[in-house]
């Protein structure tokens, strides 16, 4: 017998236990303990007594499946549909919204204490939404053949089995409608859905983006190869059924990959752009551009960042990871000059166009990796009064942090979408002489476990 087979755990797989839920993981799983052995259980809430079945055991912890809630938390609400839990699109739908906001505030507090070793930094109440549904301005919906029909929906968690869905609840309802309209048009034209196992068929994803303020629609058909049978008729039918459509793009992704968009694209109608507004500025957004998903909360997030920057009109500002210039232009309104950095070249083209569109002249943009450009600027003696960073989930590169410590901007505003990497970076920056003053969580993704936050730092 191998050592692995001999190993024993405080619980047995497939057995049923009763325990009290003590906590939530950052992924929103309930934590119950049996003989001091932690088990993570989806759908369980702290304070509840539950019955669960052990489905997996490991050296340090296991997983259970909730069977029955014996004593219910006051923060539990009736779920809308199990499909949203199965697909992972709404993992917190069983929690009151008030509890979701507190959970997100605690996520930020916990990492500042545990990882950053900054327990005294105030973490304010999470800024939430009045109506925490229907907020997503972009959908990337997979397509598969189900029962002989081209079907849209979302993949079951940890699988590529499609769960058919028409109402996503957290998406702009107009986007949900548009997906169904496009799906039905493709069905009428007998366009085959992509089969990822055999790498056959044509339509892989339907992507819909919508301007919250403008109502403009962009439709992107992601295909395995170039030709679309009956393409002209399909385009005309989409335009007729969805008159708000200003852009229809075919994106070609011929690879066997989980990445949604390919590098090649063809504009089938209009141009590769639609427009929306943020903080009074108008933005042109291409199908590949990053643009914040939740428009009303983005304005609250960016307004917090602007407030923390405390600009007087005399400052030179660097906006690293500037994307299409969404926050750059708002900063420029109150700064002497703003330098934007972005690694994606088409996004910089958008940013320059957006500055022109909004008649903002005190900005300049540079294409490249933020860490490389910052290091070069620091070596060249370039300085900034304020640095604003809004990095991807992986956080700041260590080289970028070194450049910040060389350049020493007086004030730094960190917009984060990942509390763990935020805390890691804050630890390094505080070691390097920065004081962390405050953190403001913002709920950009209600019904999910994600939380964004804005942190203010300064150097004496």
According to CATH, the superfamily of the domain at 3-76 is: Nucleic acid-binding proteins (2.40.50.140)
CB 394, CB 439: distance < 8 Å: no
**% residues pLDDT > 70 (the chain):** 99
Could you tell me which residues come within 8 angstroms of residue 81 by beta carbon, excluding any fewer than 6 positions away? Answer: none
Q: What stretches of 79-148 adopt beta strand conformation (E)?
A: 138-146
Domain boundaries of the chain, sorted by first residue: 3-76, 101-130+294-459, 138-278
Tell me what pLDDT residue 1 has: 39
pLDDT at 361 over 90: yes
Q: If one looks up domain 101-130+294-459 in CATH, what number appears?
A: 3.40.50.150
**69: Cα separation from own chain's centroid:** 31
- Whole-structure pTM value: 0.93
pLDDT in tens, 276-309: 999 999 999 999 998 999 999 999 999 999 999 9
Instruction: Tell me the average pLDDT across 441-459.
Output: 97
CB 207, CB 138: distance < 8 Å: yes
CB 193, CB 142: distance < 8 Å: no
Q: If one looks up domain 138-278 in CATH, what number appears?
A: 2.40.50.1070
CB 452, CB 127: distance < 8 Å: no
Tell me what pLDDT residue 85 has: 87
Instruction: Tell me the average pLDDT across 354-372.
Output: 97
CB 189, CB 230: distance < 8 Å: yes
Angle of helix 419-431 versus helix 97-114 axis, rounded to 10: 30
pLDDT at 370 over 60: yes
Map tokens 């089969």 to a residue: 195
Partners of residue 317 on adjacent β-strands: 338, 386
pLDDT in tens, 221-263: 999 999 999 999 999 999 999 999 999 999 999 999 999 999 9
CB 352, CB 320: distance < 8 Å: no
Tell me what pLDDT residue 5 has: 55
Q: How many residues does the chain have?
A: 460
DSSP string, 258-326: S-S--SEEEEEEE-S-EEEEETTEEEEE-TT----S-HHHHHHHHHHHHHHHT--S--EEEEES-TTTH
Instruction: Tell me the average pLDDT across 1-7.
Output: 54
If DSSP codes are grouped into helix, strand and coil, which group holds residue 137?
A: coil
Residues involved in catalysis: 417
pLDDT in tens, 117-138: 999 999 999 999 999 999 999 9
Domains 101-130+294-459 and 138-278 share a fold: no
Which of 449, 440, 422, 130 has its CA nearest to residue 305? 440
DSSP string, 152-164: EEEEPTTS--EEE
CB 40, CB 29: distance < 8 Å: yes
What are phi and psi for residue 421, nearest 5 degrees? Answer: -75, -30
Tell me what pLDDT residue 86 has: 87
Average pLDDT of the chain is: 95
């Amino acid at each position: 017998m191998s050592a692995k087979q001999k190993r024993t755990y405080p619980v047995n797989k497939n057995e049923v236990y009763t325990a009290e839920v003590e906590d939530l993981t950052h992924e929103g799983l309930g934590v119950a303990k049996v003989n001091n052995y932690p088990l993570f259980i989806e759908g369980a809430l702290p304070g509840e007594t539950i019955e669960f079945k052990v489905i997996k055991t490991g050296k340090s912890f296991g997983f259970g499946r909730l069977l029955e809630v014996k004593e219910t938390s006051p923060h539990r609400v009736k779920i809308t549909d199990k499909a949203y839990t199965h697909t992972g699109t709404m993992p917190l739908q069983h929690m009151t919204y008030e509890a979701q906001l507190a959970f997100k505030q605690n996520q930020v507090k916990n990492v500042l204490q545990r990882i950053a070793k900054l327990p005294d930094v105030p973490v304010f109440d999470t800024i939430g939404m009045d109506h925490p549904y229907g907020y997503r301005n972009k959908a990337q919906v997979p397509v598969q053949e189900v029962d002989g029909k081209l079907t849209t929906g979302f993949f079951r968690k940890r699988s590529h089995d499609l769960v058919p869905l028409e109402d996503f609840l957290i998406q702009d309802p107009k986007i949900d409608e548009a997906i169904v309209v496009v799906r039905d048009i493709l069905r009428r034209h007998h366009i085959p859905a992509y089969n990822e196992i055999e790498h056959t068929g044509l339509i892989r994803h339907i992507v819909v983006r919508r301007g919250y303020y403008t109502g403009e629609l962009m439709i992107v058909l992601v295909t395995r190869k170039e030709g679309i049978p009956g393409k002209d008729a399909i385009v005309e039918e989409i335009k007729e059924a969805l008159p708000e459509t200003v852009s229809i793009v075919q994106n070609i992704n011929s690879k066997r990959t989980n990445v949604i968009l390919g590098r090649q694209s063809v504009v089938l109608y209009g141009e590769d752009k639609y427009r929306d507004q943020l903080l009074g500025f108008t933005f042109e957004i291409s199908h590949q551009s990053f643009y914040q998903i939740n428009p009303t909360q983005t304005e609250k997030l960016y307004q917090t960042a602007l407030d923390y920057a405390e600009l007087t009109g005399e400052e030179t500002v660097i906006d690293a990871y500037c994307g299409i210039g969404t926050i750059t232009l708002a900063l420029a309104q109150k700064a002497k000059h703003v330098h934007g950095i972005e690694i994606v070249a088409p996004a910089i083209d958008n940013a320059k166009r957006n500055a022109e569109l909004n008649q903002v002249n005190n900005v300049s943009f540079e294409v490249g990796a933020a860490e490389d450009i910052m290091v070069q600027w620091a070596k060249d003696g370039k300085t900034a009064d304020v640095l604003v960073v809004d990095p991807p989930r992986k956080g700041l590169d260590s080289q970028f942090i070194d450049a910040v410590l060389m350049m020493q901007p007086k004030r730094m505003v960190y917009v984060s979408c990942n509390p763990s990497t935020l805390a890691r970076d804050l630890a390094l920056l505080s070691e390097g002489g920065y004081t962390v003053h405050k953190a403001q969580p913002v709920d950009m993704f209600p019904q999910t476990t994600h939380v964004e936050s804005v942190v203010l730092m300064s150097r004496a």
